[in-house]
Amino acid sequence: MIPSAFEYHRPGDLASAIGLLTDHGDEARVIAGGHSLIPMMKLRMAAVGHLVDLQAVAELKGITVEGGRVTIGAMVTQAELIGHEGLARAVPLLREAALQIADPQVRYVGTVGGNVANGDPGNDMPGLMQCLGASFTLVGPGGTREVAARGFYHGLYATERADDEILTRITLPVAAGGYAYEKQKRKIGDYATAAAAVLLTKSGGKVASASIATTNLSDVPVWSEAAAAALVGSDCGAAAVKAAVAAMLGDIDPQKDNRGPIEFKRHVAGVILGRAIARAWARA
């Protein structure tokens, strides 16, 4: 497994990085941790003429938690995200989920930005960011724009990001209330058979607000507004959970693969969503 030859660039700032993307057009690809891209290149399923390594771009680093908002630089690794105590207090869902991504070595190198940006439905962060109501900052030759995570994903490896744009940071509100990320996988290092992220707040014994998203159950992450709506105002009892599951099942479109057939995935999706809701509710 040997990749094709490419030219390597390591820009020192964002403007240079975007300049390289502009210069080389669709021959250029940015690389963050590379743990999705490099295997694809080694299998010669991705051809890259110019590889733009973002490791030296300082603007893409760092985590801040301030005034009810969290900002995560695109080049923050999963390990840095897991290790950040302030973030764990502000958005505990992220640590719980990131610990279920890949394995220790991959988490040291794999970045949050790479995970959300490449449009692989197997990645866990996209669904999480939709659940959390995050927005992504895209910077390109034409300037900077903000795109909601919930509107970012169009299809398999197809996202709102243009080829000459770089996803620079992720912004999200501090997440109060109960949370859970439930993921079924065959082993450590595997993508999800099915995974669900749940955020809930509780008021007077009822669900005050809810947000639900799933991973690897469609060619894009699925934020299920209907599933959340089924919970809001309820006591989060069996009937409400059943309604939420039914609503979620209406929004997903899993495909058959080595993890199992569609019928199995739909069933498991319902089971793990039920478990995620129960755990989030217990924490709310």
Partner 1 sequence: MGKKMQVSLTVNGEVHEVLAEPRELLIHTLREKLGITGPHIGCETSHCGACTVDMNGRSVKACTVFVAQADGAEITTIEGLGGPDGLHVLQRMFREHHGLQCGYCTPGMITRAHRLLQENPQPTEEEVRFGMAGNLCRCTGYQNIVKAIMAAAAEMNAKEAAE
Partner 2 sequence: MNDLTPTREERIANLKGMGTSRKRVEDVRFTQGKGNYVDDIKLQGMLFGDFVRSPYAHARVKSINADAARALPGVVAVLTAADLAPLNLHWMPTLAGDKQMVLADGKVLFQGQEVAFVVATDRYIAADAIELVEVDYEELPVVVDPFAAMEPDAPVLREDLNGIMSGAHGPRRHHNHIFLWETGDKAATEEALGAAEVVAEEMVYYHRTHPCPLETCGCVASMDKVNGKLTVWGTFQAPHVVRTVASLLSGIEEHNIRVVSPDIGGGFGNKVGVYPGYVCSIVASIVTGKPVKWVEDRMDNLMATAFARDYWMKGRISATKEGKITALRCHVTADHGAFDACADPTKFPAGFFHICTGSYDIPVAYVGVDGVYTNKAPGGVAYRCSFRVTEAAYFIERMIEVLAIELGMDAAELRRINFIRKEQFPYQSALGWEYDSGDYHTAWDKALAAVDYKGLREEQAQRIADFKAGRTRKLLGIGLTHFTEIVGAGPVKNCDILGMGMFDSCEIRIHPTGSAIARLGTISQGQGHATTFAQIIASEIGLSADSITVEEGDTDTAPYGLGTYGSRSTPVAGAATALCGRKIRAKAQMIAAWLLEVHEGDLEWDVDRFQVKGAPERFKTMKEIAYAAYNQAIPGIEPGLEAVSYYDPPNMTYPFGAYIAVMEIDVDTGEHEVRQFYALDDCGTRINPMVIEGQVHGGATEGYAIAMGQEIAYDEIGNVKTGTLMDFFLPTAWETPHYTTDHTETPSPHHPIGAKGVGESPNVGSVPAFSNAVHDAFRAFGLRQSHMPHDHWRIWKIARDLGLHG
Task: Summarize as ranges the residues that interact with partner 2 (CB under 8 A).
Answer: 1-2, 4-5, 44, 103, 184, 186-191, 193, 258-261, 263-264, 267-268, 271-272
157 interface partner picked from partner 1, partner 2, none, CB below 5 to 8 A per type: none
Nearer to partner 2 (CB atom), residue 157 or residue 264: 264
Where in 76-95 is the site for partner 1 (CB under 8 A)? 79
Asked if 109 interacts with partner 1 (CB under 8 A), we say yes
Q: Give the residue, chosen from 17, 21, 51, 81, that forms a contact with partner 1 under the rule CB under 8 A.
A: 51
C-beta of 263: minimal distance to partner 1 in Å?
Answer: 28
Contact of residue 34 among partner 1, partner 2, none (CB under 5-8 Å per partner type): partner 1
Q: What DSSP element (H or E) covers 156?
A: none
If we measure between CA atoms, which residue out of 119, 54, 62, 66 comes closest to residue 90?
Answer: 66
Cβ-based nearer residue to partner 2, 89 or 256: 256
Strand partners for 68: none
- Pick between residue 4 and residue 203 the one whose CB is nearest to partner 2: 4
Nearest of 133, 209, 211 to residue 173 by alpha carbon:
133
What are the residues facing 201 on neighbouring strands? 209
Residue type, 186: R
CA distance 154 to 145: 17
Nearer to partner 2, 35 or 150 (CB): 35
Residue 149 and residue 140: Cα distance in Å, rounded? Answer: 18
Rounded least distance, CB 76 to partner 1, Å: 13
Residue 58 touching partner 1 (CB under 8 A): no
* Structure tokens given for 62: 């760092």
Which residue, 49 or 173, is less far from partner 1 as judged by CB?
A: 49
CA distances 196 to 76, 221, 260, Å, are 23, 10, 17
- By CB under 8 A, name the one of 189, 233, 250, 261 that touches partner 1: 189
Find the shortest distance in angstroms from Cβ 228 to partner 1.
31
Comparison of 51 and 149: residue with beta carbon closer to partner 1: 51
Q: 202 contacts which partner out of partner 1, partner 2, none, CB within 5 to 8 A by kind?
A: none
In the 8-state DSSP scheme, what is residue 51?
Answer: E
CA dihedral 178, 182, 188, 190 (to 10 degrees): -130
Q: Which residues pair with 6 in a beta bridge?
A: none
Count of positions (residues) in the chain: 284
Element (H, E) at 215: strand 206-215
For the CB of residue 47, give the shortest distance to partner 2 in the complex, in Å. 10
Q: Least CB distance from residue 185 to partner 2, whole Å?
A: 9
Site for partner 1 in 17-46 (CB under 8 A): 31, 34-35, 38-39, 41-42
Q: What strands lie across the sheet with 206-215, from one edge to the other?
A: 178-184, 194-203, 206-215, 222-223
Q: Are strands 222-223 and 153-155 parallel, antiparallel or unpaired?
A: unpaired
Summarize as ranges the residues that interact with partner 1 (CB under 8 A): 1-8, 10, 31, 34-35, 38-39, 41-42, 51, 53, 55, 79, 102-106, 108-109, 188-189
